[in-house]
């Protein structure tokens, strides 16, 4: 039987519900599956590990900036921020248009477009500057970035394990549930240790 490298050997299940004479065949099958996984999700060898560490550090730094935003409970005014600020300042559409260097008829159009999402960031930034405001936009994840990655890795691992379990069942060599769960956790770790870009490929 082939001797597996130490860092890959951990992907061999510890308990398999198969006859003894079939164990070598099963080990070879799982080894091939593990090798396939390591080709798809390179692990901690070489520069990929360094890139993964750098990406993790970047996520950690970004999370610090996102945390306060996630706590905000901003509710946009029904008629949009632009109109709400303009009216709060007592500024007419003509006056705002003059400050923006635009035709007065443009202001109501922009305000409606803001509500419908049809305007541009550039236009909103210009309107904000004309009212002595700073235009702010952000993508705020609904949960921590690491949680999003882990959930995606779990989804990918589930797909791979389902294919493995199906193949094993066809050969009457199904893995025990504890072994499947153990392999699933290990596969998630392997996926997360690889290139994050592979997480978002549709298999």
Where are the chain's structural domains?
A: 19-67+141-200, 92-130
Please name which of 189, 124, 178, 132 lies closest in space to residue 156, comparing C-alpha atoms.
Answer: 189
Tokens of 128: 């904000």
Q: How far is the C-alpha of 96 from the C-alpha of 108, rounded, in Å? A: 11
Residue 54 and residue 27: Cα distance in Å, rounded? 35
Mean pLDDT per block of 10 residues along the chain (203 residues) reads 39 44 43 45 46 86 92 90 98 98 98 97 98 95 94 92 69 66 89 87 80
Using a 10 angstrom Cβ sphere, with 0-12 exposed, 13-18 middle and 19 or more buried, the burial of residue 74 is exposed
Which of 119, 58, 115 is closest to 81 using CA atoms?
115
In tens, the pLDDT along 72-100 reads 888 899 999 999 999 999 999 999 999 99
Backbone region of residue 158 per phi and psi (left: phi > 0; alpha: psi in -120 to 50; beta: other values): alpha
Whether the CB-CB separation of 100 and 130 falls below 8 Å is answered with yes
Query: Do the Cβ atoms of 38 and 190 come closer than 8 Å?
Result: yes
> If we measure between CA atoms, which residue out of 47, 39, 8 comes closest to residue 198?
39
Interatomic CA distance for residues 90 and 96, integer angstroms:
10
For residues 180 and 161, is the Cβ–Cβ distance under 8 A? yes
In the prediction, which pLDDT does 4 show? Answer: 38
- Helices (H), strands (E): how many in the chain? 9, 0
pLDDT tens digits, 179-199 = 778 888 999 999 998 888 889
Percent share of the chain, pLDDT over 90: 49
C-alpha to C-alpha distances, 14 to 10, 21, 176, 184, 192, nearest whole angstrom = 9, 16, 10, 13, 23
């Amino acid at each position: 039987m082939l001797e597996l490298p130490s860092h890959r050997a951990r992907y061999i299940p510890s308990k398999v519900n198969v006859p003894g004479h079939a164990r070598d065949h099963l080990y070879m099958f799982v080894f091939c599956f593990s090798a396939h996984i390591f080709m798809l999700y390179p692990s901690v060898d070489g520069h990929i590990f360094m890139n993964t560490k750098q990406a993790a550090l970047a996520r950690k730094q970004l999370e610090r900036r996102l945390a306060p935003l996630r706590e905000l409970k901003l509710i946009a005014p029904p008629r949009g921020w632009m109109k709400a600020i303009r009216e709060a300042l007592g500024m007419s559409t003509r006056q705002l248009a003059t400050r923006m260097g635009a035709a007065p008829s443009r202001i109501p159009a922009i305000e409606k477009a803001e509500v419908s999402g049809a305007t541009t960031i550039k236009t909103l930034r210009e309107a904000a500057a004309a009212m002595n405001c700073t235009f702010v936009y952000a993508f705020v994840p609904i949960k921590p970035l690491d949680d999003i990655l882990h959930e995606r890795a779990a989804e990918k691992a589930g797909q791979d394990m389902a294919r493995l379990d199906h193949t094993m069942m066809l050969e009457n060599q199904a893995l025990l549930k504890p072994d499947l769960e153990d392999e699933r956790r290990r596969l998630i770790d392997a996926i997360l240790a690889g290139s994050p870009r592979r997480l978002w490929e549709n298999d």
